[in-house]
Structure 1
């Protein structure tokens, strides 16, 4: 198993941060066929071989992605794509 940890600072309101997180989730769902579900300020996602969560804080968003054996071969590509998407939607601060 491979773990990916991505931390993105932001200066968004809680509502705007949730909108940004939903954009990240929507793109991940399309790209990797993930099922996503909110649990308060945590967006959980999963599919066979992948699961994780995007946790919203006041000034940062923290994502943890756990990849199974087969998906771990793509960890660098997945991390780069997701990190870039998070930078775009949360904005660099």
Structure 2
């Protein structure tokens, strides 16, 4: 089975990274009919996702995201397209999260 592996470093911290990961999970649930479960930890979280032909996990840490996914036979033919779409969605959410973190706080 083809594997998708994506690593993204960030400087959001765990709290903001969690927000980004949860937004990503909500997006893939709606857009791709995935089932997602979040397992919170002290230093990192794991977002497990699954649907017919796909299962994987997104590790959420204070300084990085690691996504691993296994595709079934039928979706394997589209692995590069699927990987590109995941990267696009994750990068957009990370950019949005970084922009929100950079805003000065109101007094």
TM-score of the superposed pair, with normalisation by structure 2: 0.80
Could you say which structure has the greater relative contact order, defined with CA pairs below 8 angstroms and 6 or more residues apart?
1
Larger radius of gyration: 2
CA distance in 1 between counterparts of 2:13 and 2:33 reads: 29
Cα RMSD after superposing both structures: 1.6
| Residues 58-85 of structure 1: per-residue CA shift (max 9 Å, x gap) | 2100001110001111111110011111
Match of 1:78 in 2: 82
| Residues 33-53 of structure 1: per-residue CA shift (max 9 Å, x gap) | 100001120000001110000
CA distance in 2 between counterparts of 1:23 and 1:15 reads: 13
TM-score of the superposed pair, with normalisation by structure 1: 0.91
**Residue-pair matches, total:** 93
Structure 1 residues not aligned, in runs of 5+: none
